[in-house]
């Protein structure tokens, strides 16, 4: 997928996709998904404009983050092998365990989506997440130096962010809202969100208030880079930010609820 320029229409827009709604009522956000109880870390302030809110789509989250389909295929393969070897008891066990495993993974995906709320304002991205321990993540837009989009079915997709500053949050705290295989500098990720291309465009336009973002909105590959860490980005074109991370600057902010 080509890079998206904030001044150019996205592929989604060209296909007639409606722009994302804006102007959400701040008070209503407190009753939508996990609550922030007025905590500034997870609550848009009066001088912020809420541009978008959303949460992961359960089925897609189950398949992409919890790998329910891979687990199902694996157990189905074991069942077929057991049948081929004329071991009906083993086939029944493998088939039964496969159903239970897939159901459990879908339940975890449902629970994760239910306890997640992503909020985009004109100054930051807020992530209210946490199945067991509620956590509020605050990502200032001015510190987002690059964004990566992985398009998925029916206009959904994942958007991961490279953020300048020191590493303050770990993969375990962010999971499953984190880009796989990037452990040294974890990249927070909006998982399985609808209208992903349009949302990516909205984020780029909001980020443009603080300077042009390096829009590395290419397809995300879930295979680990050769080094196991983030692959270095090429130098940005003139007028764009180069995704460097100077030490000593604040990065992500996060606090358990």
Mean per-residue pLDDT for 20-29? 57
Say what percent of the chain tops pLDDT 90.
32
SS3 100: helix
Structure confidence at residue 46 as a pLDDT band (50, 70, 90)? confident
Listed residue (172, 104, 163, 169) closest to 139, CA to CA: 163
Residue closest to 2 by CA, chosen among 239, 154, 216, 240: 216
pLDDT the model gives residue 21: 43
Q: Note the helical H segments in 65-160.
A: 68-84, 88-114
User: According to the model, what pLDDT value does residue 146 have?
Assistant: 84
Question: What are the pLDDT digits (tens) for 202-238?
Answer: 898 888 887 766 555 444 334 334 433 333 333 333 3
Predicted confidence (pLDDT) at residue 143 exceeds the cutoff of 50: yes
Tokens of 189: 């990720």
The answer to whether the predicted template modeling score (pTM) of the entire model surpasses 0.85 is no
């Amino acid at each position: 997928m080509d890079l998206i320029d904030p001044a150019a229409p996205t592929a989604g827009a060209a296909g007639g996709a409606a722009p994302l709604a804006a102007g959400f009522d701040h008070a209503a956000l407190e009753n939508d998904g996990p609550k922030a109880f007025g905590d500034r870390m997870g609550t848009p302030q009066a001088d912020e404009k809420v541009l978008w809110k959303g949460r992961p789509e359960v089925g897609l989250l189950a398949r992409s983050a919890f790998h329910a389909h891979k687990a199902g295929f694996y157990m189905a393969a074991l069942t077929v092998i057991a049948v081929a070897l004329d071991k009906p008891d083993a086939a029944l066990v493998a088939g039964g365990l496969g159903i239970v495993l897939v159901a459990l993974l879908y339940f975890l995906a449902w629970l994760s989506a239910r306890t997640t709320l992503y909020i985009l304002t004109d100054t930051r991205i807020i992530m209210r997440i946490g199945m067991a321990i509620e956590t509020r993540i605050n990502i200032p837009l001015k510190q987002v130096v690059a964004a990566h989009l992985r398009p998925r079915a029916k206009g959904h997709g994942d958007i991961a962010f490279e953020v300048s500053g020191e590493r303050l949050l770990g993969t375990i705290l962010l999971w499953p809202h984190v880009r796989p295989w990037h452990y040294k500098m974890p990249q927070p990720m909006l998982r399985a969100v609808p209208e992903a291309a349009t949302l990516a465009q909205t984020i780029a336009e909001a980020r443009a208030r603080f300077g042009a973002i390096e829009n590395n909105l290419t397809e995300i590959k879930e295979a680990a880079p050769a080094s196991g860490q983030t692959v270095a980005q090429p130098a940005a074109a003139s007028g764009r930010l180069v995704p460097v991370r100077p030490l000593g600057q604040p990065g992500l902010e996060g606090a358990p609820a």
